[in-house]
Amino acid sequence: MHPRSPALRFAFFAACLVTAWQAIAQAVPPPAQPEPAEAAPTPVLEPFVATYEAYYQGKPAGNASMQLVHEGDDRWRIDLSILGDRGLAGMTRLKIEQSTAFDTPDGVYRPLSQATVRKALLFDQRATGTYDWSKMQAQWDGSVKKDRRKPLELKPGDMSALLLNLAIMRDARPGATLHYRLVELGRAREHTYQVSTDPETMAVGDMSYDALRVARSDKPGDETVLWVASGVPTPIRILQRKDGEDEIDLRLVEYRGV
């Protein structure tokens, strides 16, 4: 299968959920530090399970689930599981699993380890990473390129893609500009998101929520957009647009505390 086939683009996007879910990821210029005046109180993390429907180019592709687990004291784990059971993803028997263990010193979401599994008819890729904050280094092995297996320097505030999902939920405020540094699978990238000033009405089952639009643009026509609502622990919708057209679309079906 060609490395840029639609099935592999879908797999790459899904594995990283919020930020690294693009087959050709584009870095943005290093950002300034977030404005202290915009800081908001850190919400208390609560375990949850959320279910999404996945669409690819407007057609049903499968289902996704995300869960946040409290492992005791200051230790947490966030897991993502995606199963392609319809359309192109179903034909390739796509299955994605990703997990990040983390702690929360001073309210910061700090990754400790990360694991990714991507399986389909023609590939089975597995990678694991460790974030060593005593050495300020992160390192991956498994299905990663050789030049991405060497230790990578960590900086305070660095996160994995799944933790970035939680951070956006924590930080999104009307009109805010959000800056993050993603360190995952042997590389580091800066990401900047812009939050809308006014909410939009979004439906989840029989419920409606006022959700803020949070968007990151790579280039004209290519963007990743999330809609987040107060009181909901995970995005209402996550959309990737490519060349001005909807490509990957995850829509929340339900969520519950555990």
pLDDT in tens, 145-193: 888 999 999 999 999 999 998 999 999 999 999 999 999 999 999 999 9
Per-residue pLDDT at 16 exceeds 70? no
Contacts of 61 (CB under 8 A, 6+ apart): 10, 54, 55, 84, 86, 87, 88, 89, 90
Q: Please, which pLDDT band fits residue 89 given cuts at 50, 70 and 90?
A: low
Contacts of 242 (CB under 8 A, 6+ apart): 22, 221, 222
pLDDT at 21: 33
Task: Look up the domain containing 161 and give its range.
Answer: 6-24+36-257
Q: What is the mean pLDDT of residues 110-119?
A: 93
Contact 40, 171 (CB under 8 A): yes
Q: What is the mean pLDDT of residues 2-12?
A: 43
Q: Which residue has the tokens 């460790």?
A: 130
More confident residue, 131 or 249: 131
pTM: 0.79
- In the chain, the largest separation of any two C-alpha atoms, in whole Å, equals 50
Domain annotation covers residue 31: no
Q: What percent of the chain has pLDDT over 70?
A: 81
Per-residue pLDDT at 31 exceeds 80? no
Domain annotation covers residue 240: yes
* Nearest CA among 8, 9, 20 for reference residue 187: 20
Contacts of 246 (CB under 8 A, 6+ apart): 55, 57, 58, 239, 240
DSSP class of residue 222?
E
Contacts of 255 (CB under 8 A, 6+ apart): 48, 49, 50, 51, 204, 232, 233, 234
What whole-number distance in Å separates Cα of residue 60 and Cα of residue 195? 28
How far is residue 48 CA from its own chain's centroid?
A: 16
Per-residue pLDDT at 29 exceeds 80? no
Domain annotation covers residue 1: no
Per-residue pLDDT at 252 exceeds 60? yes
Backbone phi, psi, residue 21, to 5°: -85, 35
Q: How many domains does the chain have?
A: 1
| Helix, strand and coil in the chain, % to nearest 5 | 15, 50, 35
Per-residue pLDDT of 35-79, as tens digits, reads 433 444 555 799 999 999 988 888 888 899 999 999 988 999 999
Domain annotation covers residue 206: yes
* Nearest CA among 258, 253, 221, 220 for reference residue 238: 253
Contact 107, 42 (CB under 8 A): yes
What whole-number distance in Å separates Cα of residue 50 and Cα of residue 13? 18
Which two structure tokens, joined as six digits, stand for 236?
Answer: 């209402």
pLDDT at 209: 93
More confident residue, 233 or 205: 233
Per-residue pLDDT at 128 exceeds 90? yes
Indicate the burial class of 24 (C-beta count within 10 angstroms; 0-12, 13-18, 19 or more): exposed
Domain annotation covers residue 49: yes
What whole-number distance in Å separates Cα of residue 186 and Cα of residue 141? 9
What whole-number distance in Å separates Cα of residue 117 and Cα of residue 140? 13
Q: What is the mean pLDDT of residues 5-28?
A: 38
pLDDT at 58: 84
pLDDT at 85: 74
Q: Please, which pLDDT band fits residue 197 given cuts at 50, 70 and 90?
A: very high
What whole-number distance in Å separates Cα of residue 151 and Cα of residue 148? 8
